[in-house]
């Protein structure tokens, strides 16, 4: 790999710590709560539809997800629901906000090895306060120069980030579990990217083609980064 | 005023554009919607109580406010409510998210005069996506080097901001309408602050003493800044 890399940015959710499985668990409980009204898979599909519709208005993160759960309850029950169900949806979301942090394998080892040699940053979507709280809870914050909470991860968002970090695209390496959000836009603006897959990825993050690009590397686990950059 | 100032940071809501009156309007509509259950002023008090309780979990911004409205409906109706009322609370919040931007007097003139002479930044609390959207809608984004969405505005948050902007406290001037959030913590870390009051301020931002400090200046309107720094 190019040895001009000066900044390494890590996606957070499902790259540094467990996240998506908590959403899947919550969806599961949500669907069980409403199965008198609709088959399980249809409830999950309705919730996803609400989330995608609200994404431009709410952005990423748990608070928007909570509002989408509530809206979905109202729609699929056509308003014929005990309001206590809404209270349970709020409780499900608050439970997510209060989850402890579960670091993924190799995270601490990788950060320790790279710290001091590269400027390390976190580049993540989601709710501002929630992501900052997770970083603090993770005990990893001292490894990072900076945490950037991004409202989206499109090319223009990475361009802003790189400008802000005052580095050239060619000096920037992004590591993450989403080809759509962590890899493709970074390659498009001339940066480097490593994909480290995670077993659970939100359907909205899926892409259906393979990537071949000189600045792209496929990892199997986070520790593979060390072989690539050292 | 100290002529070492290199960075001028502006609070956004109720400093650059109208914000708090929209919350008051929404609270008003919310209370009218529920006045069969409780007197008007008690509804507003219950909503505020919910907001303050949820602040550590949700942070600032409209999405947290929406969730607090919904929770308040459930609590004050003790669950005996037509779920359509919850739908209306969501609609009230979405209406807020879609409000056009109404610039305050003198904003454009002040930014035009300071642009190029100082590094101008926006330093604001609130939802990430919502604040970015407001800045874009305002048409003011080209004046700013950077927008910092802060999860809170306490001393440590300003310390991080100043470190991040790579300037000394003494070179930093904050302008805003909240003595509690825009002035006191900035003075405490050695920065400069100008208070430009706004007619409507959230009760949670009130302080009940006066400020005397060599780095503090009281403005009557935003244009007063020009006399102070030029």
Note the pLDDT of residue B205: 76
Tokens at residue A180, please? 């759509």
Residue-wise pLDDT for B58-114, tens only, equals 999 999 999 999 999 999 999 899 999 999 999 999 999 999 999 999 999 999 999
Find the closest chain B residue to A149 by CA distance: B128
Spatial separation of the C-alpha atoms in residues A52 and A62, rounded to whole Å:
14
Residue numbers of B between 132 and 171 with CB closer than 8 Å to A: 132, 146, 149, 151, 164
Is B127's CB within 8 Å of A59's CB?
yes
Ordered mean pLDDT values, 10 residues apiece, chain B (230 residues): 87 96 97 95 97 95 97 95 96 97 96 96 93 95 92 94 92 96 97 92 77 91 90
Q: Identify which of A84, A90, A127 has the shortest CB distance to residue B71.
A: A90
Quick one: CA torsion of A9, A12, A13, A18, rounded to 10 degrees? 120
Is A57's CB within 8 Å of B128's CB?
no
Q: Would you say B14 and B198 are in contact if contact means Cβ atoms under 8 Å apart?
A: yes
Q: Would you say A228 and A219 are in contact if contact means Cβ atoms under 8 Å apart?
A: yes
Best of A63, A91, A165 to disrupt the B interface (most B CBs within 10 Å) is A63
Q: Does A127 touch chain B (CB under 8 A)?
A: yes
Cα distances (angstroms) measured from residue B137 to each of A158, B122, B133, B134, B184: 21, 14, 6, 5, 30
Q: How many C-alpha atoms does A24 have within 13 Å on its Cβ side?
A: 10
Q: Would you say A75 and A43 are in contact if contact means Cβ atoms under 8 Å apart?
A: no
Spatial separation of the C-alpha atoms in residues B133 and A67, rounded to whole Å:
19
Chain A residues with CB-CB distance to B67 below 8 A: 63, 66-67, 90, 93
Chain A residues with CB-CB distance to B79 below 8 A: 82-84, 87
The answer to whether the Cα torsion of A183, A187, A190, A196 is positive or negative is: positive
- Helix/strand/coil for B4: coil
pLDDT per residue rounded down to tens, chain A (230 residues)? 667 999 999 999 999 999 999 999 999 999 999 999 999 999 999 999 999 999 999 999 999 999 999 999 999 999 899 999 999 999 999 999 999 999 999 999 999 999 999 999 999 998 899 999 999 999 999 999 989 999 999 999 999 999 888 899 999 999 999 999 999 999 999 999 999 999 887 777 777 778 899 999 999 999 999 998 87
Chain A residues with CB-CB distance to B146 below 8 A: 164
Spatial separation of the C-alpha atoms in residues B169 and B131, rounded to whole Å:
25
Q: Does B106 touch chain A (CB under 8 A)?
A: no
Q: What is the ipTM of this complex?
A: 0.91
Is B57's CB within 8 Å of A98's CB?
yes
Spatial separation of the C-alpha atoms in residues B169 and B152, rounded to whole Å:
18
What are the backbone dihedrals phi and psi of residue B139, each rounded to the nearest 5 degrees, phi first?
Answer: 75, 10
Q: What DSSP string runs through B20-72?
A: HHHHHHHHHHHHHHTTTTS-HHHHHHHHHHHHHHHHHHH-SSHHHHHHHHHHH
Minimal C-alpha gap between B64 and chain A (Å): 7
Minimal C-alpha gap between B136 and chain A (Å): 13
Tokens at residue B104, please? 């305050």
Spatial separation of the C-alpha atoms in residues B217 and B195, rounded to whole Å:
6
Is A74's CB within 8 Å of B86's CB?
yes
Domains in chain A, CATH or no CATH each = 7-17+101-229 (3.40.50.1000), 20-97 (1.10.150.240)
Note the pLDDT of residue B202: 77
Spatial separation of the C-alpha atoms in residues B130 and B108, rounded to whole Å:
21
Note the pLDDT of residue B1: 67
């Amino acid at each position: 790999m190019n040895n001009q890399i000066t900044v390494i940015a890590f996606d957070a959710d499902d790259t540094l710590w467990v996240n998506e499985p908590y959403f899947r668990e919550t969806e599961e409980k949500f669907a069980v709560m409403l199965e008198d009204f609709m088959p399980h898979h249809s409830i999950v599909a309705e919730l996803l539809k609400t989330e995608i519709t609200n994404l431009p208005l709410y952005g990423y993160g748990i608070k928007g997800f909570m509002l989408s759960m509530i809206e979905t309850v109202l729609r699929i029950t056509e308003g014929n629901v005990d309001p206590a169900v809404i209270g349970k949806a709020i409780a499900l979301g608050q439970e997510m906000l209060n989850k402890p942090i579960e670091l993924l394998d190799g995270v601490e080892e990788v950060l320790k090895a790279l710290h001091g040699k590269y400027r390390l940053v976190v580049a993540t979507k989601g709710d501002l306060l929630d992501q900052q709280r997770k970083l603090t809870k993770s005990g990893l914050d001292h490894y990072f120069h900076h945490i950037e909470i991004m409202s989206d991860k499109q090319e223009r968002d990475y361009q802003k980030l790189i400008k802000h970090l005052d580095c050239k695209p060619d000096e920037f390496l992004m590591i993450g579990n989403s080809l759509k959000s962590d890899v493709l836009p970074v390659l498009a603006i001339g940066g480097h990217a490593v994909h480290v897959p995670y077993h659970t990825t939100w359907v909205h993050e899926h892409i259906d083609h393979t990537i071949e690009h000189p600045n792209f590397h496929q990892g199997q686990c986070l520790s593979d980064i060390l072989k690539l950059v050292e």
